[in-house]
Amino acid sequence: MLRGSNAEEIICQTLIDLMQKKSLMDIKVTELVKHANISRSSFYIYFSSIEDVVQKIEDDFISGLKDEKSIDFQDLENRDSVKLLPTLQYIKENMYTYKTLIGENGDPYFQYRLSNRSTKLLMEFDSGLSDVKKRMIIEYINGGRWQMYKWWAQNEEEVTIEEVADLTNKIIKQVFVLLNE
């Protein structure tokens, strides 16, 4: 029998591979265990459903993202794109998984989970704006940012990580400048 983390890794990687070809809703445990070359009972030692596997993949991906607390929203004038590079580098290093999770066969809730990471930080940012205005800004920034990252994932050969980080930084700065006028 496969050891714990190895079996879990095989199950997760097999699901990612299957999601490249078909909708998450169409993947059944029977198919997953067949492709993973493990028994059904082995699967149920680690997971209770396909959704549990997806949750683990997403949790692992999100926990691997670098801590965005290094982004200093209080110092937007001097803020540089270097602080965004660890997050973007992690995405690039895990591009296959990222593309799968944000792709047409991925979990539509995943992008929302990614956005929640920075939402908390921005809500804590003391800008003098009401919580309603902050929330609208956050939704605007997150929607655009994750869509831009999604485009980058599909066209990664056309733009560098540094260019993506720099543009993200400039957009966020401009949004806050406009709101403080």
Give the domains, in start order, of the chain with CATH numbers.
4-59 (1.10.10.60), 65-179 (no CATH)
In sequence order, which residues have a C-beta less than 8 Å from that of residue 87 and are 6 or more positions away?
65, 66, 68
In angstroms, the CA 181 to CA 178 distance is: 5
Per cent of the chain over pLDDT 90 is 43
pLDDT in tens, 125-162: 666 778 787 778 778 878 888 888 889 999 989 999 99
Could you tell me the pTM of the whole model? 0.80
The closest of 24, 33, 15 to 105, measured between CA atoms, is 24
- DSSP codes joined into one string, 60-111: HHHHHS--GGGS-GGGTTT--GGGGHHHHHHHHHTHHHHHHHHSTTS-TTHH
Radius of gyration (Cα) for the chain, nearest Å?
A: 19
- Average pLDDT of the chain? 82
Report whether pLDDT(1) > 50: no
Let me know: does 72 contact 51? Beta carbons within 8 Å. Answer: no
Number of neighbours of residue 164 by Cβ within 10 angstroms? 22
